[in-house]
Amino acid sequence: MNTTEITAASEELFSGKILHMFHDEVILPDGGRAMREIVRHPGGVCVAALDDKNNLFFVRQFRYPYREEVLELPAGKLEKGMTPLENGKRELLEETGAEGYSYISLGQVYPSPGYTDEIIHLYACRVSSVGESRPDFDEFLNVEKLSLDKAVEMVLNNQLPDAKTQIAVLKTKLLLDSGKI
Amino acid sequence: MNTTEITAASEELFSGKILHMFHDEVILPDGGRAMREIVRHPGGVCVAALDDKNNLFFVRQFRYPYREEVLELPAGKLEKGMTPLENGKRELLEETGAEGYSYISLGQVYPSPGYTDEIIHLYACRVSSVGESRPDFDEFLNVEKLSLDKAVEMVLNNQLPDAKTQIAVLKTKLLLDSGKI
């Protein structure tokens, strides 16, 4: 079955610093019409950084939409003029002070494909040296380390809700166990 | 370090059928101010439904934000007046025609905690009988079946970008292998 939807009309409702929201009318595969509420986002990056004892670097920060602290792998929005990998190296350094090496891609994530076009690029790396973290002016976070096995256990026990973190932790574990990292 | 942000002002920019967008001013932990662009969403549900040969039911549909077809586990928005589990059973039946049993929770997912409050509830189940699918009027999709092992391979090879799908596939595999499903 053909499933393609074609844009009939597009209205930009909000053009923010990060998000751009659109209300589009689409032509459905059967010729009918429907409205789509969508968010455009610059994209993100997330890094699973392992030290030589297979501990992962995490950041714990307040996530305003949920009004709670969430424990996540270091991550951030893509900045223009840098590749996703360069953004990953930058975010890891800014948020944790860690410098990574031997970066490998863990693929891409579509966080919620019904309404956002965000793509999150995932990487794993090893960590060589750790200095001071330098978060953005409006970013307050605590750096924590957890063993990879403890992180896997927490994902399976529903203690790490963040999507990119769950995926990067489980992929790192499966790829490490099969000798691919 | 305290990381809590307190709402100083909240402006609703858009109140849609599904999404509600807000532009909030927050008081940072150091007393400074920052703007937060956030999307409120009713929440979602996703089901990893296994037949007796450990094949998973998938749906392939056009995802308008990405302008491409995406292969995902059956999923949908939460409807009011039903529990997440009831919504999961409803979505599986509507999208694939399959009736599940022995449902277990695979936890919750925060798809992109920087800007959305969406929570996606994940379940795994077994499938007893398969009838006709009955998608919504504006939903056009194709049902496909893949073995669980093939799905895991596709996640590891970056062929299934959807976040909830990657997480539910990997958790189902790890829990099945450890005898917990």
pLDDT digits (tens, 9 = 90+) for A69-85: 999 999 999 999 999 99
Residue with the two structure tokens 């956002």: A116
User: Is A90 within 8 Å of A14 (Cβ atoms)?
Assistant: no
Report d(CA B119, CA B134) in Å as an integer: 25
- Chain A hits for B43, Cβ within 8 Å: none
Q: Does domain B44-177 correspond to CATH entry 3.90.79.10? A: yes
Among left, alpha and beta (phi > 0; psi -120 to 50; other), residue A107 is left
End-to-end Cα distance, chain B:
40
Report the DSSP pairing between strands B55-63 and A120-130.
Answer: unpaired
Q: How confident is the model at residue A5 (pLDDT cuts 50, 70, 90)?
A: very high
Q: What is the pLDDT of residues A120-141, one digit of tens each?
A: 999 999 998 788 888 888 889 9
pLDDT bracket for residue A113 (50, 70, 90): very high
**A56, A138 Cβ separation under 8 angstroms:** no
pLDDT band for position B88 (cuts 50, 70, 90): very high
Q: Is B22 a residue whose pLDDT tops 90?
A: yes
pLDDT at A181 over 80: no
Optimal mutation site among B1, B35, B73, B116, interface A, most CBs of chain A within 10 A: B116
Q: Which of B67, B17, B61 is nearest to A6 (CA)?
A: B67
Q: How many CB atoms lie within 10 A of CB A71?
A: 18
Judged by CB atoms closer than 8 Å, whether chains meet at B171 and A170 is answered as: yes
Chain A residues touching B114 at Cβ < 8 A:
18, 44, 63, 65, 77
CB–CB contact A114 B166 (8 Å): no
How confident is the model over B45-65, as a mean pLDDT? 97
Kindly report the nearest CA distance between residue A99 and chain B, in angstroms: 23
> Residue A94: which pLDDT band, with cuts at 50, 70 and 90?
very high
Would the pLDDT of B32 be above 90?
yes
Alpha carbon distance A93, A103 (integer Å): 14
Share of chain B above pLDDT 70, in %: 100
Other residues' Cβ atoms within 10 Å of the Cβ of residue B114? 24
Q: Where are the domains of chain A?
A: 6-40, 44-177
Closest residue to A138, CB basis, from B2, B34, B141: B34
As a whole number, the mean pLDDT across chain A is: 95
**Token digits of residue A95:** 């948020």
Chain A's closest residue to B34, CA to CA, is A138
Structure tokens at B181: 């499903």
Cβ neighbours for A177, distance < 8 A, ≥ 6 positions apart: none
Whether the predicted pLDDT of B171 surpasses 80:
yes
Q: What is the pLDDT of residue A73?
A: 98
A36, A77, A141 member nearest B3 (Cβ): A141
Residue A178's pLDDT is what? 87
A90 by Cβ neighbours in 10 Å (0-12 / 13-18 / 19+) ranks as: middle
Give the three-state DSSP class for A179. coil
Q: Which residues of chain A make contact with B148, given a CB cutoff of 8 A? A: none
For the sheet with B20-27, list strands across it. Answer: B6-15, B20-27, B33-40
Positive/negative CA dihedral, A70, A159, A105, B116: negative
Confidence grade of residue B133 (pLDDT, cut at 50, 70, 90): confident
pLDDT given for residue B74 in this prediction: 98
pLDDT band at B173 (very low <50, low <70, confident <90, very high): very high
Residues of A in contact with B25 (CB under 8 A): none
User: Of A160, A5, A18, A76, which Cα lies nearest the Cα of B141?
Assistant: A5
Does pLDDT of B181 surpass 80? no
CB contact (8 A) between residue B113 and residue A63: yes
Q: Which residues of A touch B124 (CB under 8 A)?
A: none
Query: Confidence class of residue B172 from pLDDT cuts 50, 70 and 90?
Result: very high
- Which tokens sit at B159? 């062929």
Give the pLDDT of residue B131: 84
